[in-house]
Amino acid sequence: DAKTTQPPSMDCAEGRAANLPCNHSTISGNEYVYWYRQIHSQGPQYIIHGLKNNETNEMASLIITEDRKSSTLILPHATLRDTAVYYCIVRSAGGTSYGKLTFGQGTILTVHP
Amino acid sequence: DAGVIQSPRHEVTEMGQEVTLRCKPISGHNSLFWYRQTMMRGLELLIYFNNNVPIDDSGMPEDRFSAKMPNASFSTLKIQPSEPRDSAVYFCASRLQESGNTIYFGEGSWLTVV
């Protein structure tokens, strides 16, 4: 699986957009980009995923560059409850490792008033 | 819709005792995962099941750890005997296999071995 690189921490003001970057320069053609987050004392929570097109759901937007070597998770209006560790994971959707997720260190996002 | 349910939420036990952690996956899901989280090692996959069958247990640390899934709605992770280094948060997660890597986690079981 492709390795991902994320900044260790970021800050964001409440109500503003939070843009969390992820580099995955070794991503291969059949690998998806997944984002999860973990709020303190809770289990990880699925946010969004994509292959090459930009994706949006009720939680966030995912922007993937045309060469697919990087992506950005966007929380359009961050709230204090969005303070969490955000994990970017690159994973193929098939093969023997199907469904296995490898969590890196992630980005600690702190949303402040 | 109820999420993944784990029990106990918190357990403190003495070294050498047997620990059993329990998990009820989301109804209809056919894959189940056990993860462990520590400050030092982060989140690690221990084992996962598809259709109640263990597919990959390469993450199970040693023979003291065992996991079972007797039916589609129940799984256990057992540690016998427990050691202080087993202290961690243990997460159970499930998914519908066809949904790929969209996995739903429980709230975790916080284990402290003293």
> A32-63: per-residue pLDDT in tens?
999 999 999 899 999 999 999 899 999 999 99
Q: What confidence score (pLDDT) does residue A101 get?
A: 83
User: What pLDDT does A60 receive?
Assistant: 97
Q: Is the pLDDT of residue A96 over 60?
A: no
Q: CA B3 → CA A32, A38, B68, distances in Å?
A: 25, 16, 20
Cβ–Cβ under 8 Å, residues B77 and B34: yes
Q: Report yes or no: B90 at the A interface, CB cutoff 8 Å.
A: no
CB contact under 8 A, A99 and B42: no
Residue % of chain A over a pLDDT of 90: 77
Query: For position A99, what pLDDT does the model report?
Result: 67
Q: Which chain A residues are within 8 Å of B106, Cβ to Cβ?
A: 43
Mean pLDDT, residues B91-107: 87
Asked if B43 has any chain A CB less than 8 Å from its own CB, the reply is: yes
Nearest residue, CB atoms, B102 vs list A46, A102, A104: A46
The first and second tokens of residue B64, run together, are: 């003291």
Q: Which of A90-94, A103-107, B56-60, B75-79 has the highest mean pLDDT?
A: B75-79
B7 vs A: CB within 8 A: no
Asked if residues B105 and B32 have their Cβ atoms less than 8 Å apart, the reply is no
